[in-house]
Amino acid sequence: MMGRTHLAFGVLAGLMFMPFYHHNLILYFVLVLIGALLPDIDHEGSKINSIFPITRWLARFFKHRGFFHSIFPPLIIFGALWYFNWGYIGIALGVGYLSHLFSDGLTKMGVNFLHPVANLHLAGFIETGKVAENVVFFAVIVLSIVKVVSLVV
């Protein structure tokens, strides 16, 4: 998926889990959006690496959709932040991170949630950057708008 689609999924996931978050909502959404882009740290030309260029070096050591596209990084991040009593940051990053993994699971390339330990692969029908992704992107935007309206009304 493209960066904008990951951000859209991040917003939707953030809205869905917002009722369970009891800290600063602006910080929450900033962290959710960072988390939604974070797994692509293993791709040199990704949106996250253009925002934080210092992270580009990681792409040289990790295969795209390998370790960073598994369940282990969000668990490690959450565990480390929880240990230092910053679990609320880990929760927000985790919501975004998991939204990224889910949305990449909708693509033909898919993701292996247990890489490199085992194989739990999810793959869908969407080709990155093609018509189906644009349709999904707009559908996620509409769902986010509907969710915001339901929260306001």
Q: Read out DSSP for 27-82?
A: HHHHHHHHHHHGGGGGSTTSHHHHHSGGGGGGGGTS-TTSGGGSSHHHHHHHHHHH
What are the average pLDDT values for consecutive 10-residue runs of the chain, which has 153 residues?
97 96 95 97 93 88 92 97 96 98 97 95 95 98 97 90
Domain range spanning residue 116? Answer: 3-152
Domain count, the chain: 1
Residue 81 pLDDT? 97
pLDDT tens digits for range 3-29: 999 999 999 999 999 999 989 999 999
Token pair, residue 45, equals: 């030309």
Residue 55 pLDDT? 85
Strand 121-122 vs strand 111-112: parallel, antiparallel, or unpaired? antiparallel
Mark 80-104 as b/e (b = at least 16 C-beta within 10 Å). ebeeeeeebbbbbbbbbbbbbbebb
pTM: predicted TM-score of the whole model, two decimal places: 0.94
Beta carbons of 87 and 81 less than 8 angstroms apart: yes
Residue 98, classed as helix, strand or coil, is helix
Could you report how far apart the first and last alpha carbons of the chain are, in Å?
Answer: 32
